[in-house]
Structure 1
Amino acid sequence: MADDISLDIPADLLIPGSGSGPGLVLFQEIFGVTGYVRSRAQDLVDLGYVVLIPHFYGRLGDPAVDEDEGGLPRAMALLQELDWQVAVEDGVAALGALREHPAVSGRVGALGFCFGGGLAFNVAAAADQKPDALVNYYGSALPSLLALAPEVTSPSLHHFGESDTYISMETVREIEHAVTDGHSDVTFLTYPEAGHAFDNPSPLFHHAEASAEAWTATVEWLATHLPVR
């Protein structure tokens, strides 16, 4: 646990070997803070980022659902139990707390997958001090959050699969229009044949080519917008 981060929910703080770096708040998938989420956090730490993983299900007993054991219905039920506005407030608090941490040198960004992509987007709209960079992987709540797009002024990178059965390509294009309209620093990428949650290594979701391509794009984009000195 992040004993030196003051939040109302549990959180994990990972610090790179250098002892300092830019900060990233990592927003979990719908399944909770799973091994996959932790592995992506470690990937970011290995790049030199200080990573904070808030446990947004912390108020619900902090469950992590197994993606490979028919866990989607349970995860959907957890999402129904979650108080979205409280989760947004927790995300805003996490950004602020990470900015104040002594290991953070430079700026602080937000990166989220699925449920976390939408939550990170909402947090970027709600925060008084905006994240310095925002990465959204197929944010499942974005279709219902597009009215907030004018408030999301952070440079942003968005990834969507073109074969996503949860978010149609028509909706993806609506999202693209909303997040790019009036914003100069937005990168919007789509991946043929990739479905929802294509970065998740579970056989239920994984698309190896799209996952690798999107992660390379993310690393390169972060190097420009949230550089490790």
Structure 2
Amino acid sequence: MSALSVPAPDGPIDAVLETPGDATPPPWPGVVVVHDALGVGRDIRDITSRVAAHGYLTLTPDLYSRGGRARCVVRVFRELFARQGRAVDDLLAARDLLAARPDCTGRVGVIGFCMGGGFALVLAPKDFAASAPFYGQLPRSIDDALRGACPVVGSYGRRDPMLWNAGPRLDAALTRLDVEHDVVTYPGVGHSFANRIAVGKGNTLLRIAGMGYDQEKSEDAWRRVFAFFDAHLSSGSE
């Protein structure tokens, strides 16, 4: 995994890049991974490596580059809800950087988690080839926000108190809009079921929010995401 700088309209931001390695020769399809509210920590780096190992040129930009999480998190969430602003511009710049690289096919997908899952939905109509929101916040005026979206593969937990009924609502909206999609709401799990976030005895807030990793549901979600992305990010896809 290598560190690099992404040139964005408001100045460069930090990012990490992972290549698929020698098993698959380039060019590769690209994937932008959008981190959760915790930032680019070990879990997101492990996810970046996992996506690359499946055969994708994977770029994870740090949306907190301009001041750190404490200073940036409120602004980034505000821009998520507004569906515009520096964070959106930064992610589009990350997509453009990947697409322009000679070792990329030019087709780029986006995968996001929690806050990043919300961005994955916001970005779905913005020239990505496929979008994979993991328990992403649904945009306001959902039909208008997702009109013209790329294919979407979404994964939600039924026991997620922060996103109650979000999966079925997203599925219904994408059906109305005639957007190809695969949205599953997994029973028995809550928020962040695909993130390895330490939820200790003292971390009461995370436990109340229903956060917790679930290997079985996580592996099934990744199986679906990779099958969906393989179908939509191959060089022959239209």
User: TM-score normalised by the shorter chain: which range applies?
Assistant: 0.7 to 0.9
Matched letter for residue 16 of structure 1: P
Contact preservation (8 Å) 1:159, 1:214: yes
Residue 15 (structure 1) shift: 1.7
Contact preservation (8 Å) 1:22, 1:105: yes
Matched letter for residue 58 of structure 1: S
Aligned twin of 1:2 = 4
CA distance in 2, matches of 1:219, 1:110: 12
Normalising by the residue count of structure 2, what TM-score does the alignment of the two structures yield? 0.80
Aligned twin of 1:47 = 54
The percentage of aligned residue pairs carrying the same residue is 29
2:183 aligned residue (161, 184, 188): 188
Correspondence 1:80 to 2:74: yes
Correspondence 1:111 to 2:111: yes
TM superposition outliers: structure 1 runs of 4+ over 3 Å: 147-150
CA change 1:2–1:203 in 2 (3 A) is: closer
Aligned twin of 2:124 = 124
Contact preservation (8 Å) 2:135, 2:191: yes
Residue 88 (structure 1) shift: 0.9
CA change 1:133–1:53 in 2 (3 A) is: same
Residue 36 (structure 1) shift: 0.8
Residue 42 (structure 1) shift: 0.5
1:176 aligned residue (171, 195, 211): 171
State the structure with bigger RCO (CA 8 A, min sep 6), 1 or 2. Answer: 1
Residue 214 (structure 1) shift: 0.6
In terms of mean alpha carbon deviation, does 22-31 or 179-188 score higher? 179-188
Normalising by the residue count of structure 1, what TM-score does the alignment of the two structures yield? 0.83
Residue 124 (structure 1) shift: 2.6
Residue 165 (structure 1) shift: 1.4
Correspondence 1:218 to 2:225: yes
Task: Determine helix, strand or coil for the equivalent of 1:131.
Answer: coil
Contact preservation (8 Å) 1:111, 1:117: yes
Aligned twin of 1:11 = 15
Contact preservation (8 Å) 2:121, 2:133: yes
Task: Determine helix, strand or coil for the equivalent of 2:153.
Answer: strand
Matched letter for residue 180 of structure 1: T
Residue 43 (structure 1) shift: 0.8
Contact preservation (8 Å) 1:153, 1:183: no
Correspondence 1:21 to 2:28: yes
Contact preservation (8 Å) 1:15, 1:103: no
Describe the superposition over 1:115-150 as per-residue Cα deviations: whole angstroms up to 9, x where unpaired: 00111221233x3xx10111111103x153624444
Residue 20 (structure 1) shift: 3.2
Aligned twin of 2:132 = 135
Residue 30 (structure 1) shift: 1.0
